[in-house]
A and B are shown apart, each in its own frame.
Chain A
Amino acid sequence: MLEGLPGPLPDLDTQPFWDGCNEGRFLLPTCHDCGTVRWPPGPMCPACQSEQTDWVDWTGPGKVYSWTVVHHAAHPALAEQIPYIIALVEVAPSVRVLGNVIGCAPEDMRADMEVELFFEDAGEGEQLPNFRVPT
C-alpha cells in the first residue's frame, strides 16, 4: 500500500467490508432480496430499497475499466512514491472498485486487462485489498 495516507474510518454501514479485509476476504455488499451489487457499501439497496444485505465473497480476477498514472505528488507523503497507478476494476457488471495495480509498468496498462486481487498490510494490523498483474 502507498504509505503516509489516511486509512479508512469504518462506520456501521461499512464495518462488515473492512472486517472482511482483515480476514483476507473481499466482501461485496449484495442485496438479499434482488441481488443487486452496490458500491460503495451503504445501508440500502438503491434498486429495491431492501435493507437486507448479503456480504458475498469476491475473489477476482477483475477487469480494468479505467486508470490513471499519477505523476504529481498531491501530498508530501507521495513524493517518493510517484508514479503510481490507480485503476477502477470491474467486480460485477458495471460495478467497479478502486485500487492500485502493483507490478505493472504504466505503459503496459490496457483497458479490460485482467488483474488479480490480493491483500496488503496497511499497518496497525490492518489488511487492505489491492490488485496486481497475474503471475
Chain B
Amino acid sequence: MFSFQVGSLLNIALILGTVLGAAALLIWVERRLLGFFNDRLGPNRVGPFGILQSVADVIKLITKEDWIPPFADKLPFVVAPIILPIVMLLSFAMIPFAPGVGIIDMNIGLLFVMAMAGLAAYSAMLGGLASNNKFALLGGLRAAGQMISYEVFLGISLLGVVILSDSFSLRGIVEAQSDGWYVFPQFIGFMVFMVAALAESHRWPFDLPEGEAEIISGFNTEYSGMKFGLFFVGEYIGMLFMACLIPVLFFGGWHAPFGLEFGNEIISGLFWMAAKTSVFIGFFVLVRAALARPRYDQLMSYGWLVMLPLSLLNLLITGAIVLMQGS
C-alpha cells in the first residue's frame, strides 16, 4: 500500500507542500503561544481558533504595492529577500523524515546544509547594504558580524556527531542512532549547536540584526509588501528547519523513544519526527518569550571566547574517546 521511495515525485510534492504549510501554520502557532505566555489571546478571529491568520496575511501582502525605493540599489534590493526562503527550502531536501521519505540522500548532506546556512547570511547583508538607509546598514552589518561569527562553531559543534556516526549523510546519522541518541554522548555539542542555530537564524534572543527597539527593523527597514513577507516567511522556514535538524542530529530522527513504535514504520517514523520537531518549535517560542536580547559586544565575546573553545574541546575529547575505544 505504501511504497515510498526517496526522491519520488510524490515525496517531493508532499514534502514541499507540508513544509510551506507548516511554515505558514508556524507563524500562527508562535503568535498564539506568545499570546498565552503574555496572558493574552493572540490572533483568534480568522477561521477556527484563528488558524487561517497566515492565509489572510499572505493575501494582504500580495495585494500590497511592490515598492522599490528610488534611492535603493535595485538588483541587490530585489535579490536579497529571494535568497533566504530559497536556501532554507533547499536545506529541507537533505532532511530524512522517515525511512523512504525524503527528497535526496546525499553522502555530503551535512556539508550541503552548512553551505546553505552560510549563503543565508547574504540575504540580510545584501538587504541592509542595498537599502541605502542608515538603520538598514547597521542591521545588515550586525547580521553579517553575528552570522559569520556563529557559523564558525556551528560547524565545529557538529563534528562530534560526524565522528560518532562516521558519516556526513543525514540519513546515515539517523540510522547510526538506532541504539542510542547522540544527545547523551554529545551533550556539549548539542548545547553549542542550539545556541549557534538560534544565532544563525537570528531568532530571539539573538535578533540584534532586527532589534526593533534600537534600529527600527534592522536590515528590512525599507522593505514592504511581499518582499518583506519573503524575509518573514524565510525566517520561519529557517526556524522549522532547525527544529527538524536538531532531532535528526541529536535525538534519533524517526526512531521511537522507549521502543514505542506502532504500525507501519513510515507512519510511526513520521509521527515521532513530527513530535520531536514540535517540541523544539515550542522550545524556540518559549526562549523568545523568556529571554532578553544581549548587547552586541556581549554576543560577540560570548561566541568567540566561550562557544568556540568549548566546541573545540568537545571535538578533541570525542575524538580521543572514539580512538581509545577503537584500539
Does A pair with B?
no
Query: Could you tell me which B residues sit within 8 Å of A by CB distance?
Result: none
